[in-house]
Amino acid sequence: MNKTADVVVIGGGSIGCAVAYKLARLGFKNVVVLEKGYICRGSTGRCAAGIRQQWGTEMNCLISRYSIRQFEVMNEMLEYDGDVEFRQNGYLMVTYSDKEADMLRENLNLHKKLGIPVQFLSIDDVKEIVPVLNTERVVASTICMEDGQANPFKVTDAYYRAAKRLGVNFYTYTKVTGFKKQGEKISAVITDRGEIATSTVVNATGPYAKFISEMLGHQLPVEPERHQIVVTEPLDPFLKPLVMNFYHNSYCQQVVNGSILVGYGNPKEPKGVNYSCSWHFIRELAEKVIDQFPVMKDVNIIRHWSGHYGISPDGQPVLGTVPGVQGYYLALGCGKGFMLSPMIGELVAQCVAGKETTLPIDILNVERFEKGELIVEPAVV
Amino acid sequence: MSVVTDKTIICRCEDLTIEEIREWISKGYDGFEEIKRATRIGMGACQGRTCRRHLLIELARAGQKSPSDIDLSTFRPPTKPLKFGAITGVDKDE
């Protein structure tokens, strides 16, 4: 194991691997990634694989817009010998109430301002795009055909391999157990396999981020929140865009191998790390699925799992420096880490390098929570 | 005489041959979870009922370990495929 490193990135998910890759591209020679399990074990490997620009805050829209530009050329950009399976099949947003419809309209104004191609749809349009969707209660709907999906394992693998080729060292099954500090400065990372002297640490551990922060004496208000998903047997293509329903708090999308991935957010879910799967979830989900897609009643669920959002109080990413701990950087997508990973990798790497960032990220600094300057994302599921 | 050839399918749901699996193992994807994510082995309709044992033997052989020393991938619910309609009971009159 390395005795020293220029930068230690903690977390081997899509963000950790993307940050490491971008650091290497910016010229850092000695970058180490520490992962307590295997690459993609955590939230990336458990996520729903969706990629969208239809958010309700400017920063979420911009980071996702810039990220999509990178997903579009990712196989070539990372010289990947596989396929990251990026597909722009669209995200269809569906609402059942006037209040939710108003949110869509407000978001639409923002999207127009930022040049994101989102369209308002009539019920007939919706029926044409997704003939199997029950449109009885639909009040308003929007679609963005640039949105879509990618394979989280492949995206992370592409960054991992590209980073390795540039000399980044990855240590899997290596757990961070503490740090050494000199005053406010970080001087070493302590792991269960030895110690690495470094002045710079990037925390890309998603739902575990607050536990890493605690080891550095920093209170981070990013909480693990369990989300569950099921996947069905593979079917012939019948569902082109991902359908996100704000009444049901659910999303449903057909992925490249033909399986349908479907899940919903439970607003009463207690905070904390919990990998169990509940029958209650699957019971409620089945009702939601059949209400929206009556044909799905005969489709088999083959697997059910859970993962976590590391959710911030305003549902927006937490990026950049940390007041009071020198050399400590946060790279947290907060419930959308996978889809934002290309840009979070770029922005945080630029920040670590002391370069000007492609997008202004000061607004996403962790300080905002103490100052009470929250920018709440309304369009979260 | 072995009946296994390079082209023998070891994961029927995902159409994976033993040759492909050996190739991924030699690239360093040498744990159950890693190779599952790289190839989708065991992620099909049967959820690894057949391939799990074959993969275990391959990983043991490649790592010169005993199969009992290799961690399996997580067994996830449901145990058998389950229709959405069976869960809500919309099928009960049929």
* Chain B residues lying within 8 Å of A233, measured CB to CB: 45, 81
Of A153, A233, A282, the CB nearest to B37: A153
Is there a contact between B88 and A303 if contact means CB atoms under 8 Å apart? no
Query: Among A261, A281, A311, which residue terminates a domain?
Result: A311
The alpha-carbon gap from A299 to the nearest alpha carbon of chain B, in Å, equals 5
Q: What is the C-alpha to C-alpha distance for residues A229 and A285, in angstroms, rounded to an integer?
A: 9
Domain span holding position A351: 7-48+153-222+314-371
How would you write the pLDDT of chain B (94 residues) with one tens digit per residue?
578 899 999 999 999 999 999 999 999 999 999 999 999 999 998 899 889 999 999 999 999 999 999 998 888 999 999 999 999 987 665 5
Query: In percent, how much of chain A has pLDDT > 70?
Result: 100
Contact A24, A168 (CB under 8 A): yes
CA distance A96 to A140: 7
What residues of chain A lie within 8 A of the CB of B33, using their CB? 37-38, 41
Is residue B2 assigned to a domain? Answer: no
For residue A379, the model assigns a pLDDT of 80
Give me the CATH number covering residue B48.
1.10.10.1100
pLDDT band, residue A381 (cuts 50/70/90): confident
Report the share of chain B in percent with pLDDT over 70. Answer: 95
State the CATH number of the domain containing residue A238.
Answer: 3.30.9.10
Interchain pair B84, A286: CB under 8 A: yes
Considering only the beta carbons, identify the residue of B47, B76, B83 that sits closest to A298: B83
Residue A162 included in any domain:
yes
Alpha-carbon distance of A134 to A329, in angstroms, equals: 46
Quote the number of domains for chain A. 2
Helix (H) or strand (E) holding B10: strand B9-11
> CATH number of the domain that A365 lies in?
3.50.50.60
- Domain span at residue B23 reads 9-88
Q: How many CB pairs under 8 A join A and B?
A: 70
> For testing the chain B interface, which of A43, A293, A301 should be mutated: the one with the most B CBs within 10 Å?
A301
Distance, in Å, from the CA atom of A206 to the CA atom of A173, rounded to the nearest integer, reads 17
Same domain, A93 and A128: yes
Q: Are residues A161 and A15 in the same domain?
A: yes
Q: Is residue B41 part of a domain?
A: yes
Could you tell me if A128 and A238 lie in one domain? yes
Check if A83 contacts B (Cβ < 8 Å).
no
Mean pLDDT value across residues A61-69: 98
Average pLDDT rounded to a whole number, residues A39-67: 97
For the stretch A242-296, pLDDT in tens is 999 999 999 999 999 999 999 999 888 999 999 999 999 999 999 999 999 999 9
Task: Tell me, yes or no, whether A231 and A332 share the same domain.
Answer: no
Model confidence over A104-151: pLDDT tens digits? Answer: 999 999 999 999 999 999 999 999 999 999 999 999 999 999 999 999
Pairing between β-strand A242-245 and β-strand A250-254 as defined by DSSP bridges? antiparallel
Q: Which residue of B has its CA nearest to A154?
A: B38
The total of structural domains in chain B comes to 1
Do A213 and A232 lie in one domain? The reply is no
Domain match, A232 and A268 both? yes
